[in-house]
Amino acid sequence: MHFTPGHDHYHEALETGGLDARAKIVAWLGLAIAGVLTPWGQWPVLGAYGACWLLLCLALAAPLLKVLRRVIAASPFFLLLAVLLPFRPLEPGDHALALGPLTLSAAGSELALDMAAKATLSVACVAALASTESLAGVTRGMQRLGAPALFVTLMNFTFRYLLVLREETQRMKRARDARAFGGRWLWHARVVGLMIGSLFLRSIERAERVHQAMASRGYSGGAFAVSSRALSGAEWLLIASCLLLFVVVRLLPL
């Protein structure tokens, strides 16, 4: 998500049309929770939830290619753990799978596939939500749904501060490249380490300055106050249809 400088997107989003963020949050997070709560090894149910994700993307006009790119970018973080699970020690009743010179745990392999499928579905739901709703809309919707004010505030500022750190990192990389840094050899790791340390110190100093500036303007740590409106009939229909579909998929003998 990108916010154009010079616009008050937080309050401007209050006047935008389309579905309320609360309906999207309940739909996407409901699907993610339903997938995570699926018992181990019920692959037809997980496949049906994947089909539900695709239908929901089409219904909410989510950009599929953009969502898939985000899922692929996040996949190494949870796939690394999934790759290690098949190599866990064999337990009583477990079967060994021979893969060349390696011995894999059958239960661990199935657990790895189960975890990878559920993690992929959860990340895909979050990525689709981020692609169909702005940060302001998500934080406002979470606040209206009764999420703790501290959680909403931390989510809001974490995302915005990550954007600031990304810009700071890009400036440091441009300064490094302007000094003809090649970065292809092992001894160049010292320069990268110094950059990481410098970024860490700068981030702490910037955070302190931002906190002091906000405190001087009377900020007390609470979430932003937003106006609320009742959900429309179409939004209630979306919420009820999604939740009913998720429950039916779970109860069907697939």
Instruction: Determine what percent of the chain is predicted with pLDDT higher than 90.
Output: 24
Burial per residue of 146-182, b for 16 or more beta-carbon CB atoms within 10 angstroms, e otherwise: eeeeeebbebbeeeeeeeeeeeeeeeeeeeeeeeeee
Query: Higher model confidence: residue 164 or residue 44?
Result: 44
Q: What residues does 104 pair with on adjacent strands?
A: 97
pLDDT in tens, 189-210: 777 788 888 888 888 888 888 8
pLDDT in tens, 81-97: 777 777 766 666 666 66
Pinpoint the alpha helices (H) of 85-226: 106-132, 135-144, 149-178, 189-216
Q: Name the helix (H) or strand (E) containing 34.
A: helix 21-36
Instruction: Determine what percent of the chain is predicted with pLDDT higher than 70.
Output: 80
pLDDT in tens, 175-190: 877 877 666 666 667 7
- Residue 241, pLDDT > 70, answer yes
pLDDT in tens, 24-77: 999 999 999 999 999 888 899 999 999 999 999 999 889 999 999 999 988 888
Rounded to the nearest integer, the mean pLDDT of the chain is: 80
What residues contact residue 44 under an 8 Å CB cut-off, 6+ apart? 254
Least confident of 15-29, 53-67, 125-139: 15-29
Kindly list the domain boundaries of the chain, sorted by start residue.
17-133+228-254, 148-223
CA atoms of 13 and 38, how far apart (whole Å): 35
Q: Are 152 and 226 in contact (CB under 8 A)?
A: no
Region 93-121: what's the mean pLDDT?
Answer: 77
pTM reported for the whole predicted model: 0.73
The pLDDT, as a whole number, for residue 24 is: 93
